[in-house]
């Protein structure tokens, strides 16, 4: 089960503004994380003086990961390869490697040469492979860095033979961003940057 927890870390607020329960929005059981519903009022946006890169980098510290986050707009492209260019990594999965191609539903056995067997298993591995498709996502001005590389499971076709199954997330990694958070209303409001943990799909698998 995947959840998005926006976690308060080392934030000291004036006593009149301490409502810690509001720092933890409702979690999500699905990945990628759905877009958050934001208050459209620009009064709740960070000001220019709140967006000093040097200060924010210091606040985020070693959590800044240029492989998954960007301060300026990156090239909004995906990072997946076409089916005929998929590079399979690691050893062939055991459930494919151990397939017995000589058995039939009718009790008869087929003769399958080593070369034909190897080519068929390689094709089956490629066909059922579920790559993670990465695209850059604009999180909005209330996140820093503003741009995140989001993972999605390949979904252009079924991953099973015969068809019916699809690629679904099985693992995720967590990246820490800064989130602009305001409490109170109008002149009484207090705003600050807090650290939030953001899950990103890192592995997909063919399943029902």
Give CA–CA dist 145/142, Å, rounded: 9
Same domain, 117 and 161: no
> Is 12 among the domain residues?
no
Contact 24, 7 (CB under 8 A): yes
Tokens found for residue 139: 């999180």
Same domain, 187 and 116: no
Same domain, 118 and 167: no
Residue 50 DSSP SS3: helix
Residue 67's pLDDT is 94
Digit-coded pLDDT (tens) for 89-133: 667 777 777 777 777 666 667 777 888 888 888 888 888 888 899
Digit-coded pLDDT (tens) for 142-201: 999 999 999 999 888 898 878 899 999 999 999 999 999 998 776 778 999 999 999 999
Mean pLDDT along residues 15-30: 41
Tokens found for residue 9: 């870390």
Same domain, 65 and 144: yes
Same domain, 168 and 122: no
Q: What is the mean pLDDT of the chain?
A: 79
Same domain, 63 and 159: yes
Residue 25's pLDDT is 37
Same domain, 124 and 143: no
Same domain, 97 and 196: no
Same domain, 148 and 63: yes
**Structural domain of 67:** 54-71+132-207
Give start and end residues of each alpha helix (H) in 9-100. 53-60, 94-97
pLDDT at 64 over 90: yes
The neighbour count for residue 199, using CB atoms within 10 Å, is 20
Residue 3's pLDDT is 38
Contact 46, 158 (CB under 8 A): no
Give CA–CA dist 101/111, Å, rounded: 9
How many domains are there within the chain? 2
> Is 193 among the domain residues?
yes
């Amino acid at each position: 089960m995947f959840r998005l927890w926006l976690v308060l870390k080392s934030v000291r607020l004036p006593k009149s503004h301490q409502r810690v329960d509001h720092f933890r929005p409702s979690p999500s059981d699905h990945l990628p994380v759905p877009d958050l519903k934001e208050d459209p009022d620009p009064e709740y946006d960070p000001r220019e003086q709140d967006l000093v890169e040097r200060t924010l980098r210091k606040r985020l510290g070693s959590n800044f990961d240029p492989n998954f986050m960007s301060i300026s707009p990156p090239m909004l492209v995906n990072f997946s390869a076409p089916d005929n260019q998929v590079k399979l990594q690691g050893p062939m999965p055991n459930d494919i490697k151990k397939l017995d191609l000589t058995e039939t539903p009718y009790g008869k056995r087929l003769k399958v040469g080593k070369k034909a067997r190897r080519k068929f298993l390689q094709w089956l591995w490629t066909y059922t492979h579920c790559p993670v498709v990465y695209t850059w996502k604009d999180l909005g001005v209330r996140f820093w860095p503003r741009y995140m590389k989001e993972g999605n499971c390949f979904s252009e076709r079924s991953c099973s033979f015969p068809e019916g199954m699809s690629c679904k997330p099985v693992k995720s990694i967590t990246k820490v961003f800064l989130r602009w958070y305001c409490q109170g209303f109008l002149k009484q409001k207090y705003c600050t940057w807090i650290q939030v943990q953001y899950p990103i799909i890192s592995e997909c698998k063919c399943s029902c």
